[in-house]
């Protein structure tokens, strides 16, 4: 008896090179052969919209589209999908333009606790694209591959039936697929699983600067505009604008570590929010620098995520003396840092810019020379300020409502 001869053998922890197209973005990963698609999406790319329930292919929470067909991400090894196109729930719709299925789930209160929602959305999309004529009576059986822990199927069926009747054969394609940066928990070309710890330390700094910092094509995770009134006059602020090292020291927790030439800089920054402490290594490129305006792009990476940003800062004289310092920032977050709510992330970012503005004011007036990287923004100073701001906004709205009633 002739037995088949093994052609090749790959150990479970042996790294395997995998090329995927995920939500329209080509990604190269170097992963242990044992890593499932769901773990690759969540732990290595920061796409945590794909939920994992049973890890046995029963509950359907991890349903994604593989080459256009619904599949259980927990039952597939990433290594066996080389060359495949993956669509996750993140690719279904945009925040400002949801997919009809997402809108319908909200309209019919089908979201419930939300844990099963990604699986239902992707299964429903697969159903309505492959069986556009499906009838309401068939939906309970057709959607039975996803389990709702709230046992609230009625609203989900109402939501899917609404879309089925409205879009017979015309269901829009996923609307949030396009080239973007996926810099999740491990860099796309990183080897081995990343250790996610409560306190990160600085990774090895990148040896060379990139040709260009490419920002994702979609909308930023957060966009903030902050204007701060400084006591210093524009001439004094211009002195800080003209000294990049001094300017960098004004951002609490940040420090410039190297000048790479041609207006490229390497640096690092720390931030602490409760038990989560992050340490970013990054590179910044000053695209424009004058006495009253600075335009820069920056990218940073922590073991648990990454951030890219385009920041425009302008300084202008104000009536009565002083300077208006305005910061306009578009920030793209990935990984666990992106797990913060957009509202909270925006509030914290605004608070950091306000602290930065105060440091610029002190440096411009010569009152205090900031010291690099000695005081990272902490949970108390950032969150307390944020809470105070929200309480003030609530009181103003309350006062406005009382005034209108009278």
Return residue ranges of the chain for CATH 3.10.20.30.
12-184
Count of C-beta atoms within a 10 Å radius of residue 198: 9
Return residue ranges of the chain for CATH 3.30.530.20.
222-387
Residues 6+ apart with CB under 8 A from 151: none
Architecture in CATH for domain 12-184: Roll (3.10)
- Decide yes or no: CATH 3.30.530.20 for domain 222-387: yes
How far lies 111's CA from each of 50, 66, 146, 294, in Å?
Answer: 15, 24, 14, 44
Q: Would you list the DSSP string of 157-203?
A: HHHHHHHHHHTTT-PPPPS--S------SS-TT-BSPPP--SB--PP
CB 309 within 8 A of CB 331: yes
CB 24 within 8 A of CB 178: yes
* DSSP 8-state class, residue 253: T
Residue 8 tokens read as 């090749």
Residue carrying structure tokens 């699986």: 119
- Give the pLDDT means over successive 10-residue stretches in the chain (406 positions): 67 86 87 93 85 92 96 94 94 87 95 93 97 95 92 92 94 82 44 35 57 76 86 90 86 81 84 63 88 88 74 89 89 67 67 84 78 53 55 56 46
pTM over 0.85: no
CB 184 within 8 A of CB 44: yes
pLDDT of residue 390: 55
CB 22 within 8 A of CB 15: no
Residue 92 tokens read as 């279904």
């Amino acid at each position: 008896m002739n037995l088949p001869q093994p052609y090749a053998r790959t150990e479970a922890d042996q790294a395997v090179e995998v090329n995927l197209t995920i939500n329209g973005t080509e990604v190269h990963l170097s992963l242990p052969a044992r890593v499932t698609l769901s773990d690759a999406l969540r732990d290595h790319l920061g796409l945590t919209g794909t939920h994992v329930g049973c890890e046995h292919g029963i509950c359907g929470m991890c349903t994604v589209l593989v080459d256009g067909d619904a599949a259980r991400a927990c039952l597939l090894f990433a290594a066996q999908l080389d060359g495949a196109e993956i669509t996750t729930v993140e690719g279904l719709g945009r925040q400002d333009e949801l997919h009809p299925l997402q809108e319908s789930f909200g309209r019919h209160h089908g979201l419930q606790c939300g844990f099963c929602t990604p699986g239902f959305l992707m299964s429903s999309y697969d159903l309505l694209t492959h069986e556009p004529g499906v009838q309401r009576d068939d939906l309970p059986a057709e959607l039975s591959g996803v389990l709702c822990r709230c046992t609230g199927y009625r609203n989900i069926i109402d939501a899917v039936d609404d879309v089925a009747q409205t879009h017979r054969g015309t269901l829009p394609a996923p609307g949030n697929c396009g080239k973007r940066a996926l810099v999740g928990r491990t860099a796309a070309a990183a080897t081995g699983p990343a250790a996610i710890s409560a306190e990160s330390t600085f990774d090895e700094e990148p040896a060379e600067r990139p040709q260009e910092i490419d920002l994702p094509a979609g909308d930023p995770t957060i966009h903030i505009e902050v204007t701060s009134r400084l006591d210093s006059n524009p001439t004094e602020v211009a002195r800080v604008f003209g000294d990049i090292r001094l300017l960098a020291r004004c951002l609490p927790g940040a420090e410039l570590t190297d000048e790479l030439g041609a207006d490229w800089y390497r640096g690092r920054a720390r931030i602490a929010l409760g038990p989560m402490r992050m340490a970013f290594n990054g590179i910044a490129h000053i695209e424009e620098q004058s006495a009253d305006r600075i335009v820069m792009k920056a990218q940073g990476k922590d073991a648990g995520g990454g951030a890219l940003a385009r920041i425009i800062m302008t300084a202008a004289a104000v009536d009565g003396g002083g300077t208006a310092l305005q910061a306009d920032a578009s920030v793209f977050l990935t990984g666990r840092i992106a797990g913060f709510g957009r509202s909270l992330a925006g509030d914290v970012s605004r608070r950091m810019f306000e602290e930065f503005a105060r440091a610029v004011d002190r440096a411009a007036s010569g009152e205090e020379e900031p010291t690099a990287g000695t005081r990272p923004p902490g949970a108390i100073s950032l969150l307390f300020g944020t809470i105070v701001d929200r309480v003030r906004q609530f009181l103003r709205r309350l006062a406005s409502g009382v005034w209108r009633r009278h």
